Amino acid sequence: MAHDVIVMHGSKREARNAVLEERLDALMAPHGQYSVAFIESTERSVCQVVDGLAEEGARNFNIIPVLFFSASHYSRDIPEALRHIEEKYEDMSWTLAPPMGTHPHMARLVERRVAEAPHSSGTVIVMAHGNADHPEADDELERLVSQLDIGLPAYPAALYGALAVDRLPGRLDMSDDFLIVPIALEDGFLTGKMEEALLEVLPESAMTFAPSVNFDPILKEIIMDHLEKH
């Protein structure tokens, strides 16, 4: 039986990681049979957590990243950490669950954010971090937007990469109002950077920001789906 490891981006500040784990545990209750690792942690990194479990005898791992698209952390950092541990344990095996943003339920979450918005007209911009070195993340975001059933024009955008916000004006009706739906785990630093970038190209008075994922119950459904498949 595989040991489930949920991986979050996290922080170099362990107190911050403790808060994230508390929020995850509250979301996942009563299910709690998993370990938690943080990409940015110096004490509970993917290497440290999985290696510790392997030392206790675990050999099969189901890795579930709470990452939304296939950028560098998903495609490079987590697999590299796991391959490093494989060098110590030749009989180790692992599977990597798909990014959260590629699950069909994520479209439901975006649709709900749009339905809950104060305005029922305008243009929807679904925004993620993006990565110029990983165009597959752009493809996944574009697929997410294409799956939406909202009755409004919708466009993908990102901080970085081919979908960067500085390319938006040529694609949009600039006289419209804009609802921004951020694909981020929490409102905070990343969503603040998104707002700063959008203010460079769109009028502030025309923008409304929806909440980000914010440990929504739909996130639990996605994680549980990945847990149950392995």
pLDDT band at 130 (very low <50, low <70, confident <90, very high): very high
DSSP string, 203-222: -GGGEEEPP--TT-HHHHHH
The percentage of the chain sitting over the pLDDT mark of 70, rounded to a whole number, equals 100
Assigned token pair, 74: 């998903």
pLDDT in tens, 164-219: 999 988 888 888 999 999 999 999 999 999 999 999 999 999 999 999 999 999 99
Average the pLDDT over 71-81 and give the result. Answer: 95
pLDDT in tens, 89-120: 989 999 999 999 999 999 999 999 999 998 77
User: Before 30, cis peptide (omega within 30)?
Assistant: yes
Average the pLDDT over 9-36 and give the result. Answer: 95
In this prediction, residue 11 carries a pLDDT of 93
The residue whose two tokens read 């579930």 is 64
Chain mean pLDDT for the chain: 95
Q: Give the CA count within 13 Å in the CB-facing half-sphere of 44.
A: 20
Q: Over 90: is that where the pLDDT of 121 sits?
A: no
Domains by residue range for the chain, with CATH? 3-97 (3.40.50.1400), 102-209 (3.40.50.1400)
Assigned token pair, 125: 């911009």
